[in-house]
Chains A and B, each alone.
Chain A
Amino acid sequence: DAGITQSPRHKVTETGTPVTLRCHQTENHRYMYWYRQDPGHGLRLIHYSYGVKDTDKGEVSDGYSVSRSKTEDFLLTLESATSSQTSVYFCAINRDGNQPQHFGDGTRLSIL
């Protein structure tokens, strides 16, 4: 197993509250990614990072921000959660941008 840990695994929160999801890797890989998975859409890229403090937007970045202050941690923040952000969130990593991505076990986030 690639050394990827997502926390928390499950979270229920209320609309309007801030939420931060954490992805931690022990592989020292350069690239880290956040996806969301929704029925009928597969996985869609939210943001990704290509190094410490280097991030870029993905397909569905509105309402999300990220930070990467050290190689091993990539944080996804919902500043003011909305019900449309109820989803399963996956973190992924790879050493080289052209290599297969390896995924964490996902975080199920429910916003009521």
Chain B
Amino acid sequence: AQTVTQSQPEMSVQEAETVTLSCTYDTSENNYYLFWYKQPPSRQMILVIRQEAYKQQNATENRFSVNFQKAAKSFSLKISDSQLGDTAMYFCAFMAQGAQKLVFGQGTRLTINP
């Protein structure tokens, strides 16, 4: 069974700083997808970024980028120029190709301070 671990329960940074959230996973699969979801206080689950395991290039979406290390089974999220609206819970998630099922980490609560 796959597992996803987020080792930082809480993080806090100042506005405009760069912050990196860690995620590691365990799988024997070779083809899979990794995701970061954001959950603001409104409780919505918002897709931030997606990475396909077969792609060596790290995914980026505006201020959000990932550092995908397949051999190390690591998938960290970097938020550049952090904004107050980035305050949220962030969940890392794994899905084996063809499995249809997302496996989530425990989440990291990120607070951006003014």
Main secondary structure of the interface of B (DSSP, over half): loop
Tell whether A74 is near chain B: CB-to-CB under 8 Å: no
Interface residues contributed by chain B, number (CB under 8 Å): 24
Tell whether B104 is near chain A: CB-to-CB under 8 Å: yes
Contacts of A102 in B (CB 8 A): 47
Chain A: number of interface residues, binned into ranges: 20 to 34
Whether A42 pairs with B104 at a CB distance below 8 angstroms is yes
Tell whether A22 is near chain B: CB-to-CB under 8 Å: no
Main secondary structure of the interface of A (DSSP, over half): strand
Could you tell me which A residues sit within 8 Å of B by CB distance? 31, 33, 40-45, 48, 50, 58, 88, 90, 92, 97-98, 100-103, 105-106
Could you tell me which B residues sit within 8 Å of A by CB distance? 4, 33, 35, 37, 42-45, 47, 50, 91, 93, 95, 97-107
